[in-house]
Structure 1
Amino acid sequence: MHVLFLGDLMWIYLLLLCCASCNGRPDPRKRDALIGLEASRRTGGDITLNEREKLLDGKLQKLKQHDMEAGQFPPSMHFFKAKRLIDQSPVFNLIQKMPKGAALHVHDFAMVSVDWLVKNVTYRENCYVCFTDKQTVQFIFSSGPPASSSHCSSWTLLRSLREKIKNTTELDNSFIRNLTLFTEDPDRAYPNQDTVWERFEQVFLVAYGLVTYAPVFKDYLYEGLRQFYEDNIMYVEIRALLPQTYELDGRLNDKDWSMAACQEVVNQFKKHHPDFIGARVIFTVHRKINATEAVKTVEEAMILRRNFPDVMAGFDFVGQEDLGRPLWYFKDALSLPEDKGFNLPYFFHAGETDSQGTDVDQNLMDALLFNTTRIGHGFALARHPVVKEMARKMYVPIEVCPISNQVLKLVSDLRDHPAAVLMAEGHPLVISSDDPAVFGATALSHDFYEAFMGFGGMSFNLGTLKELALNSLRYSTLSSQRKEEAIDALLVKWDKFVWESLL
């Protein structure tokens, strides 16, 4: 607050000076002061770099300049076309090595690379596959042939199928295509938002039978944490539907089992990786449910929060915002925790839309009225100046997911993303990856690159990256003490990263 207040005074002072001499030649000192003031307001603008960081920043700026002048600028291209260029970028290589703090907006069934799902999970014993009338596939684990479905061919044991065909690589590649949105011509494949969202949600249905098999559920989460850890992430908050998992004999496990399994896996991973801070779950439900179902779901969320306070962080709605019910529709359900004196934090997806003036477009305002802890996406926030100011004053950060917003057709050129304005204003925000496995992206590094290069161009520096990493821990649901410990640990990793990057 103190810095913002001083900044406002400086701004007023500079305006008065400029107006006082508006009929004469502009004073270069005033121009420099304005440039400096604008730079100080950007994300990372108030971070003072030490001598080593300045040296690395000089190196980084040269690398950025090369990418900016290379002819094809990746943030201006669809990620599916730009990924090859990004992977070759020295800036991306540096970002991969950089400690990035936390990933705060990630969905459970889109954490792990689809290669692992296909080449590990589908090769396990008792895995069956069927081919649907929508030209997709479904999987299930079973001790014997599963019952046939009206929308699916007869179930085939995958081990037997692979033994019969010569080219298992092509079969595996077809499975991979069913589990990702990636395509060589995304504009033709996905001409509008409804088309890409339909395909997007279909991908989760394909993964469903694999990931909800109880042994795979635990292995999948552990592998997800490993892949995020390998991308230099030390803490994760996962949006999870917590569907029923199943055993080989068909027995079903409830949400308590899933939460206990999450807690067990996180503790196991921390034991094997002592510098990993941990992970928590944000319980989610599809926004197409009705009001009665919403009441039951919020009550269930409260029970999970009470039973698993260490791992259960809060509640959110998921699904295509434009086709789902607005937050205000669920006002009775969302008021339940406060009415009962129970603390259930909210982390609402809101503003993931370009449908201005609709009921859904009010989700940003309603998310704040329901005291959301963070806002997922917030793409429409720039069109709501009052809500934007409310969010800033309430210290509610925006979880920005650049690649997701582009692939799901909210913006084509990431230089035009509204978050560019938010970061220029120093609005509280974090960068996250949403569904990296579905997009063929790394856990977080690709999104960091797109934000760093696309939102700020040459104006962003090493201080921007440092603040984004720090923000991810500041705005996490860790306790105050654990935040301090995590930030201290991050800064140690950061200094090591800076030192090694200069060698």
Structure 2
Amino acid sequence: MAASPDHEWHAWLRALPKAELHLHIEGTLEPEMMFELAGRNGIVLPYADVQAVRDAYQFTDLQSFLDLYYAGAGVLVTEQDFYDLTMAYLRHAQADGVVHAELMFDPQTHTQRGIALETVFAGLARALREARDTLGISSYLLLSFLRHLSEDEAFATLEAALPLREAYADLWIGIGLDSSERGNPPEKFARVYGRCAELGFRLVAHAGEEGPPAYVRSALDTLKVARIDHGVRSSEDPALLQDLIRRRVPLTVCPLSNLKLGVVHHLRNHNLAKLLRAGAVVTVNSDDPAYFGGYVLDNYIASADALDLSRDELVTLAANSLKASFLPPAEQAGLLDRLSIAAGQS
């Protein structure tokens, strides 16, 4: 990276206004909070202590992570639980220089356990609105369908959530698709995405993490998404990559997640820099930071170190995150002006 001492450029990087666009709020559940909420709700965890949970973070692939992820989410029961979880993330994000966050949440993970959708929305929204007023972080919610479940179940979740739309219109603006990618191609959800488009939601989907480049193509052409979450395998199909570059489709890349789940075996082998230098609209995000060993600033720093990113490239990544957000153009422009000022300060 740079010849200046680490603390100097880390502080500079922290001060860059940035957006986080690929963040699963359930994936911010730190082991300490997991035990706190389990105690609050009378839930017995299958782990002796916090260290035992951390010891379980030796994932071999996406599914081995998801098994622990869904088990951990079981401690989220009350509106206060969802509020506490979200506020903890937002405070961490603010410390990393995040000025706007678009949080994915998985209603089906909770409704399958008997938790009311109203409880989930209320806890998340209370934290997001409070952070808007007290921390200066704007935010949106992306309701995400679990792709290992059926499209009919996604439709049922959408219909159950729609009566809440007016109450949360300032926050709930988009739809996502996550969970196990293998064997669950985007086209499995073509009808429900068509319905969401009719309803005016902004659309994103995970594709090209463990799934092949064809899943990225399907997410673009069948689901009509505005952003691809992950998308790192797009480089395996040169025609697809050129199409992504030409159409300026953002990729919400999560380097430490990719490392932890074995998508790459060392960050120096990650294609983030190659994608960026080829002209792709790459953004840096943390995905599930409690499980993958780093929040968004950690992902920027680790990528800069491993891939020898220049300061100009780091500014471009931050700018990409703001431009790729679903914020109105005027708000984007204001944040980009702030970024330009911060970037010039060493």
Match of 1:165 in 2: none
| Aligned partners of 1:282 and 1:313 also within 8 Å | yes
Match of residue 279 from structure 1: 139
Structure 2: how far apart are the matches of 1:282 and 1:128?
28
2:104 corresponds to 1:239: yes
Q: Deviations over 1:346-399 (max 9, x none)?
A: 11101112x65xxxx421111111321110110111122222222222221111
2:282 to 429, 436, 445: 429
Paired residue secondary structure (1:320): coil
User: Counterpart of 2:203 in 1: which secondary structure?
Assistant: coil
* 1:178-205 Cα distance to aligned partner (Å, 9 max, x none): 5xx1x5xxxxxx5x53xxx343112223
Shift of 1:304: 5.1
Q: Sequence identity, in percent? A: 22
Contact 2:209 2:233 in 1 (8 A): yes
Q: Secondary structure at the match of 1:484?
A: helix
- Kept in 2, the 8 Å contact 1:92–1:446? The answer is no
Match of residue 88 from structure 2: 223
Per-residue Cα deviation, 1:99-121 (whole angstroms, up to 9, x for no partner): 24111101111124333443x44
The structure having more radius of gyration, on CA atoms, is: 1
Letter in 1 for 2:30: S
- Per-residue deviation, 1:493: 4.4
Which residue of structure 1 lines up, in the alignment, with residue 327 of structure 2?
A: 478
Distance 1:418 1:98, change over 3 A: same
CA contact (8 A) 2:12 2:343 kept: no
Q: CA deviation at 1:331?
A: 2.0
Aligned twin of 2:131:
269
Match of 1:326 in 2: 185
Contact in 1 for aligned 2:282/2:320 (Cα 8 Å) = yes
Q: Distance in 2 between matches of 1:325 and 1:244?
A: 17
Look up the equivalent residue of 1:214 and give its one-letter code: E
**1:291–1:307 distance in 2 versus 1, CA, 3 Å:** same
Q: Per the alignment, in what secondary structure is the counterpart of residue 347 of structure 1?
A: strand
**AA paired with 2:23?**
V
- Per the TM alignment, residue 473 of structure 1 is displaced from its structure 2 partner at its CA by 1.0
Instruction: Give the corresponding residue for 2:69.
Output: 204
Paired residue for 1:347, among 188, 204, 210?
A: 204
Between the aligned partners of 1:352 and 1:301, the Cα distance in structure 2 is 28
Identify the residue that residue 156 of structure 2 maps to in structure 1.
Answer: 296
Q: Summarize the alignment of residues 77-92 of structure 1 with structure 2, pairs less than 5 Å apart.
A: 90=7
Q: Output the CA distance in 1 between the equivalents of 2:245 and 2:160.
A: 31
CA distance in 1, matches of 2:159, 2:241: 30
Aligned counterparts of 2:95 and 2:29: Cα–Cα separation in 1: 12
In the TM superposition, what are the counterparts of 1:391-402 in structure 2 within 5 Å? 391-402=244-255
Decide whether aligned partners of structure 1 residues 298 and 117 sit closer, same or farther in structure 2, where only a CA change above 3 A counts. closer
Cα deviation for residue 269 of structure 1 reads 1.9
| Per-residue deviation, residues 90-135 of structure 1 (Å, max 9, x unmatched) | 47744663324111101111124333443x44554x53315xxxxx
Give the superposition deviation at 1:61: 2.4
CA distance in 1, matches of 2:297, 2:116: 34
1:411-426 aligned at under 5 Å gives the runs 411-426=264-279
In structure 2, runs of 5+ residues without a counterpart are: none
CA shift for structure 1 position 325:
1.4
The two structures, once aligned, show a CA RMSD in angstroms of 2.8
Residue type of the alignment partner of 2:302: E
1:128 aligns with 2:26: no
Correspondence for 1:255:
117
Residue range with higher mean Cα deviation, 311-320 or 210-219: 210-219
Question: How far 1:288 moved relative to its partner?
Answer: 1.3
Give me the TM-score of the superposition, normalised by structure 1. Answer: 0.62
Corresponding position of 2:239: 386
Task: Provide the C-alpha distance between the structure 2 equivalents of 1:253 and 1:427, rounded to a whole number of angstroms.
Answer: 40
Q: For the Cα contact (< 8 Å) 1:244–1:254, is it kept in 2?
A: no
Q: Output the CA distance in 2 between the equivalents of 1:269 and 1:243.
A: 25
Separation in structure 2 between the aligned mates of residue 176 and residue 344 of structure 1, nearest angstrom: 37
